[in-house]
């Protein structure tokens, strides 16, 4: 599995996500620009001593990154998703793509791939969940469907 963070802004969120990716063997892709330095103390602290086990990829921009993988491998997470994350049949080579904390994914991207948009159900009076919690929810569902490969 792959988790993609598009222009993440908050170091502790990315640090927590990196820890989740490390313990699950999931590759983490960070799409620039980042709202922090990869050497940020808060980022490293949240990831603790898991950094050596993380499969990390840095991409210069979203457009370039999207050109590297087939569209059918992407799931774009958004509050405006067509389907619940629990309705998707995930595959080991899928990419779970999350937007930045303050704005989510670009609207033109979501409009271009409406059938690849996925949401986490929540009360309509509130805007969103924390990014690191959202990644954990969806990633663990995808891994559950696959029988938690390589995990005990």
**Full DSSP string of 9-71:** --HHHHHHHHHHHHHHT-EEEEESSPSS-TT-HHHHHHHGGGGGG-EEEEES-HHHHHTTS-G
pTM over 0.75: yes
pLDDT of residue 72: 86
User: Rounded to a whole number, what is the distance in angstroms from the first to the last CA of the chain?
Assistant: 17
Compute the distance between CA of residue 6 and CA of residue 108 in angstroms, rounded to an integer.
14
- 3 state SS of 114: helix
Residue stretches of the chain with pLDDT short of 70: 40, 42-48
pLDDT of residue 124: 77
Report whether the peptide linkage leading into residue 70 is cis, meaning its omega lies within 30 degrees of zero.
no
Q: Domains for the chain: give ranges and CATH numbers.
A: 2-145 (3.40.1280.10)
pLDDT of residue 137: 98
């Amino acid at each position: 599995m792959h988790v993609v963070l598009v222009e993440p802004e908050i170091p502790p969120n990315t640090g927590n996500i990196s820890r989740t990716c490390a313990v699950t063997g999931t590759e983490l892709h960070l799409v620039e620009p980042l709202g922090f330095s990869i050497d940020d103390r808060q980022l490293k602290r949240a990831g603790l001593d898991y950094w050596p086990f993380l499969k990390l990829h840095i991409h210069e921009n979203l457009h370039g990154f999207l050109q590297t993988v087939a569209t059918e491998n992407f799931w774009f997470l958004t509050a405006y998703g067509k389907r619940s994350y629990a309705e998707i049949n995930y595959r080991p080579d899928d990419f779970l793509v999350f937007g930045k904390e303050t704005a989510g994914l670009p609207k033109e991207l979501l409009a271009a791939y409406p059938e690849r948009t996925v949401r986490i159900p929540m009360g309509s009076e509130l805007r969103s969940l924390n990014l690191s919690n959202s990644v954990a929810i969806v990633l663990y569902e995808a891994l559950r469907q696959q029988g938690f490969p390589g995990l005990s």
